[in-house]
Amino acid sequence: MTDVTPIRTAAESAILSRFPQAKASLPGTPAVAALREQAFGSFVETGLPHRRVEKWKYTDLRAMMREAAPLAAAPAAADIAAAEALLAAAPAFDGVALTVVNGRFTPELSDLAALPPGVSVADLGEALGSGHPLVGERMGRAASADDAALALNAAFMTGGVIVTVADAVTVVSPLALRFVTVGDVGAATYPRALLQVGADASLTVIETHLGADGPAHQTNTVVEIFAGDRSSLNHVRVNAAGAATVDVSSLGVVLGAHASANTFNFVVNPAAARHQVFFRFAGEHSTGNISGAAMLKGRRHADSTLFVDHAVPHCTSRETFAHVLDGEATGVFQGMILVRPDAQKTDGKMMSRAVLLDDDAVMNNKPELEIYADDVVCGHGATVGALDEDLLFYLRARGLPKPEAEALMLAAFVGEALEAIAHDGVRETLEGMVDAWLKARA
C-alpha cells in the first residue's frame, strides 16, 4: 500500500478554511495570536487524527467527524436559559458553581460571590486578551504534546476559566466546573480551563459536561492543572454530554513534590468520547491516581488515553479503568507509563477491566511501559469478559430475574471503580447515575 498524503476530508477543509476569518474575532494578545497561528500550522500538517496515527489508532476522529460543525457563537440570553435548564435537569453536584457555556465563561450561571477565601477565578476569554500572567507562564505547559486535538483547541479556544488557589488554603467545598453546550444544531466548542493549586493547598473539582441529546456537537476541551508541593488535588470529571456529541478532552496535570492528585473520568452519554490525560510528576515523593469508568450502550465509543511521565524519582502512579460495554459499544484504554532515567524508585501500575454485555461490544486495551531507570516497580493488567455465568445463576436461583441479577453485578463492578473517589457526596451522585443507566438498560 502506498501511503500518499490523503486528500482533505470535508471536515478538515472546513476547519482549514475557517481559521483565517475566525482568528480576527478570537480573543488574545499578539502573543496568544502567535500561539494560535503556531497551533494551527501544526494542524495544517497533521489534519484530523486517524487510525494510522498510533495514539489515535482506536479512535478514528477523521472518520467520526464527517463534517465540521460550525463554531459556536457566544451564548445569547436564550442560550444561557437553555444551559440553566440542562443544568437543572442533570444530576446535581454540590459546590461552588463555575459555568462555561459554548466555550465562554458565563457569570450568570456562576457563583462568584460564594468563592471561598484564597480562591480566585478569572474569565479565561478576557485573560487571553489582557495578558493575564498565568496565560503566559502556564498555558499549554501541562497539556503539551504533539497532538491534533490540543492544536485545534489552542488555535480556536474561546474562553473558560482560570482558577487560582493560594498557598496553604484548604478549599472545603468542591468547585463545580460545568461545561454546557447548547444550540439546536451541532456546534463546535473549544473551552479551556487553567487551574493553579498553591503549595500546601487542597482542592476538589467536579468537572461536568452537559448537552442536549439531539444536536451533533463537537466539543474539544483542555483542562490544565498545576498543583504545588504538598498539595492535594481531587478531580472528578463527569462526561454526560449529549448523545450525538463527539467529545474530545485533554487533561494536563503537573504535580509538585510530596503531593497527591486523583483524577477520575466517568463517561455515560456522548456518542464518542476521547479523554487524554497528560500527567507529569515534577516533584519527588508524590502520588497520582488516574482512574475512570465508562458505561456505554448502542454504538457509543469511549477512549481513555493516558501518558504518565515519571520525570523524577520516588513517585507512585496508578491507572485504573473500568468499562461496561453493551450493544455495539467500543471501549479503549491506552495507558503509557514513561519512567525517565532519573526516576528511580518509581512505582507505576495500570489496570483495565471490562465487562462485555453483548457479542458485538469491543474493548481495546493497549498498556505500554517505557522504562529507562533500573530500580522501579511497574506493571499492567487487563481483563475483558462477560459477566460470570455461575454468579448470575446463583443470583437467579435466589429469585432475581436476569436483568436484575446483571444490574446487581454491574453496580458492584462499577462501584468498585467509584471507590477511587474520595468525596462521599460526589461518589453517591455517580452511584445514582450508574443505577439510572442500569435501570434504563433493564
Partner 1 sequence: MLEIRNLHVKIEDKKILDGLTLTVNDGEVAAIMGPNGSGKSTLSYVIAGKEDYEVLDGEILLDGENVLEMDPDARAAAGLFLAFQYPLEIPGVATMSFLKAAMGAQRKARGEEELAVGEFLKRVRGAADKLGIPQDMLKRGLNVGFSGGEKKRMEILQMALLEPRFCILDETDSGLDIDALKVVSDGVNALRDGKRSFLVITHYQRLLNYIVPDSVHVMAHGKVVKSGGKELALELEANGYADYKTLAA
Q: Which CB sits closer to partner 1, 336 or 409?
A: 409
Q: Which three cell numbers stand for residue 389?
A: 455465568
- Please pick, from the candidates 244, 373, 409, 422, the single residue that binds partner 1 as defined by CB under 8 A: 409
Residue 237 to residue 371: CA distance in whole angstroms: 29
Residues near 136 by beta carbon (within 8 Å), at least 6 away in sequence: 31
Q: Which CB sits closer to partner 1, 375 or 416?
A: 416
Strand partners, 235: 205, 263
386 counts as binding partner 1 under rule CB under 8 A: no
Residue 348 to residue 339: CA distance in whole angstroms: 9
- Please pick, from the candidates 10, 31, 185, 391, the single residue that binds partner 1 as defined by CB under 8 A: 391
Part in contact with partner 1 (CB under 8 A); list of ranges 101-109, 140-148, 286-294, 387-395: 387-395
Q: Which CB sits closer to partner 1, 24 or 398?
A: 398
369 counts as binding partner 1 under rule CB under 8 A: no
Part in contact with partner 1 (CB under 8 A); list of ranges 189-197, 228-236, 378-386, 408-416: 408-416
CB of 92 to partner 1, least distance (A): 24
- Residue 405 sits at the vertex; the CA angle it makes with 401 and 408, to the nearest 5 degrees, is 140
Q: Which three cell numbers stand for residue 208?
A: 461536568
CB of 265 to partner 1, least distance (A): 20
CB of 409 to partner 1, least distance (A): 7
What are the distances in angstroms from CA 349 to CA 130, 280, 340?
A: 42, 15, 15
- Please pick, from the candidates 6, 341, 385, 401, the single residue that binds partner 1 as defined by CB under 8 A: 401
Residue 433 to residue 90: CA distance in whole angstroms: 10
404 counts as binding partner 1 under rule CB under 8 A: yes
- Please pick, from the candidates 370, 416, 428, 435, the single residue that binds partner 1 as defined by CB under 8 A: 416
CB of 393 to partner 1, least distance (A): 5
Q: Which CB sits closer to partner 1, 34 or 412?
A: 412
What percent of the chain is helix, strand and coil (3-state, nearest 5)?
30, 35, 35
Question: Cell 515519571, residue?
Answer: 310
- Please pick, from the candidates 51, 66, 402, 439, the single residue that binds partner 1 as defined by CB under 8 A: 402
Residue 383 to residue 354: CA distance in whole angstroms: 6
Strand 104-105 vs strand 96-101: parallel, antiparallel, or unpaired? antiparallel
166 counts as binding partner 1 under rule CB under 8 A: no
- Please pick, from the candidates 415, 422, 425, 431, the single residue that binds partner 1 as defined by CB under 8 A: 415
Which residues from 178-217 bind partner 1, rule CB under 8 A? none
Part in contact with partner 1 (CB under 8 A); list of ranges 44-52, 272-280, 318-326, 396-404: 396-404
398 counts as binding partner 1 under rule CB under 8 A: yes
Per DSSP, 45 falls in state: H
**Comparing C-alpha atoms, which of 179, 166, 182, 135 is closest to residue 35?**
135
Alpha helices in 292-418 (DSSP H): 389-397, 402-418
Binding site for partner 1 (CB under 8 A): 389-391, 393-402, 404-405, 408-409, 411-413, 415-416
